């Protein structure tokens, strides 16, 4: 496999963040390739059925949590009862 050289140009005033990031990289070529691949890889597509299923699961968990709060005579809490993994999955969808 042959190696190829590609040159890019950046503005030393406007792109100081790019320059600083690049200077911190031990292997600049590998870092640039990884950054480019992260952008060009297809993002996970979220279809309507997956969204409905995840929302159904989350709403069911919220109802259980609210029922538990009601049984303890405490106001429902939407913050402490959310599963961190479920919250992460919802965040990734949007």
| The total number of structural domains that make up the chain | 2
Q: What is the pLDDT of residues 33-56, one digit of tens each?
A: 999 998 888 766 677 888 888 888
What is the rounded CA–CA span in Å between residue 90 and residue 55? 8
Evaluate if residue 60 carries a pLDDT over 90.
no
Tokens of 56: 């159904």
Q: pTM for this structure?
A: 0.44
Q: Which domain holds residue 34?
A: 1-41
Find the mean pLDDT for residues 54-75: 71
- Residues 11 and 35 both lie in one domain: yes
- Residues 32 and 61 both lie in one domain: no
């Amino acid at each position: 496999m042959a190696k190829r050289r590609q040159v890019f140009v950046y503005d030393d005033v406007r792109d100081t963040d790019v320059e600083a990031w690049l200077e911190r990289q031990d292997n600049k070529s590998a870092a640039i390739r990884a950054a480019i691949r992260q952008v060009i890889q297809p993002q996970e597509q979220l279809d309507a059925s997956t969204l409905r299923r995840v929302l159904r699961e989350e709403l069911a968990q919220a109802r259980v949590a609210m029922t538990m709060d009601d049984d303890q005579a405490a106001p429902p809490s939407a913050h402490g009862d959310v599963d961190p993994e479920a919250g992460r999955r919802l965040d990734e969808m949007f």
